[in-house]
Amino acid sequence: MKDFFHSKGFKLLIAVVFIMFGLMLYTAGTGNSIVTNLLGFISSPMQKVSTVVTNNAAVAAQSVTRSNADLMAENDALKKQIEEQNQKLVKYYTYQQENAQLRKFLELKNENKDFKPVSAAVIGRDPNDVFYNFQIDKGTLAGIALNDPVITEGGVVGWISSVNASYSRVTTLLSADTKISAIDKVNRDSGVVSSNIKLSDSGLVKLGYLTAGTTVKAGDIIVTSGLGGLYPRDLPIGTVTKVGNEAYDVSLFAEVKPFVDVKTVRDVMVITSFEGQGQALTDSSSSTGSK
């Protein structure tokens, strides 16, 4: 420490202090502060820089705050627009679907003046149902009744097996409970369309009770015969894939691939009224579900 007080650096520091002290005394007497001016000369640019930085930071902070608020408002507005567009899109597809159904109904009505169809949508399926029966969103309030035939523009789907005010259950043509009087459109051979678990699993039905001399062959189109009063005549059912012998009697049957895939159908038509409806309906057929 003693060496420091005797060093040149310490002596120079003492000299600078005395010089500054003398200048302060001199300027105090003359009213002109050289030191003040000198310090002002040095500090002024730094103050300007500091002021600019401070102001820019404030403007930037204000700008960021304003931008966030604008972005939030814009985001909310865009969300509302998206919701409105989604609602319009849903309505568009609903109207498109309804228009498509109406066109099908009009075509059906033009070809069958006596038909009174009601459109319906599939609203429920039981994944454990081996016959792929389902529920639709229309019931008695829409004029639907028990045993009404259910179709699409492609062909037969099934029949109404139970009905409530606002919904109904459809038993498909793949069900073992379904029996449909049918006819070969080509050669007019008649029989009964039915199914079982094995056929249902393959999406098939059969035209049974064919005679040994039948001329039904693969490629023939099978349609409803209209007998029994449960289905109108000439509704398409499917195409014959092969002809074989029944296991337990001498009659033949034709394996038929339905035109409508009841496993995936989404929209159907229920025929609530047609010419000849129920004319040949017997107590036994209504109790057993024969179609």
Question: What b-and-e string marks burial along 233-272, b requiring 16 or more CB atoms within 10 Å of the CB?
Answer: bebbbbbbeebeeeeeeeebbbbbbbbbebeebebbbbbb
Predicted local confidence at residue 246, as pLDDT = 84
Distance CA(175)–CA(199), nearest Å, equals 9
**pTM of structure:** 0.64
Predicted local confidence at residue 127, as pLDDT = 92
Distance CA(254)–CA(18), nearest Å, equals 126
Residue 218: partners with Cβ closer than 8 Å, 6 or more residues away: 240, 241, 242, 243
Distance CA(53)–CA(290), nearest Å, equals 91
Q: Are strands 180-184 and 190-194 parallel, antiparallel or unpaired?
A: antiparallel
Domains and CATH numbers, the chain: 116-291 (2.40.10.350)
Predicted local confidence at residue 285, as pLDDT = 44
Distance CA(214)–CA(220), nearest Å, equals 12
Predicted local confidence at residue 288, as pLDDT = 41
Q: Are strands 221-224 and 180-184 parallel, antiparallel or unpaired?
A: antiparallel
Residue 93 banded pLDDT, cuts 50, 70, 90: low
Structure tokens at 235: 């509704």
Predicted local confidence at residue 216, as pLDDT = 95
Residue 148 banded pLDDT, cuts 50, 70, 90: very high
CA pseudo-torsion sign 35, 38, 44, 45: negative
Residue 284 banded pLDDT, cuts 50, 70, 90: very low
| Span 83-98, average pLDDT | 68
| pLDDT tens per residue across span 102-142 | 666 556 666 777 889 899 999 999 999 999 999 999 999 99
Residue 55 banded pLDDT, cuts 50, 70, 90: low
Predicted local confidence at residue 277, as pLDDT = 87
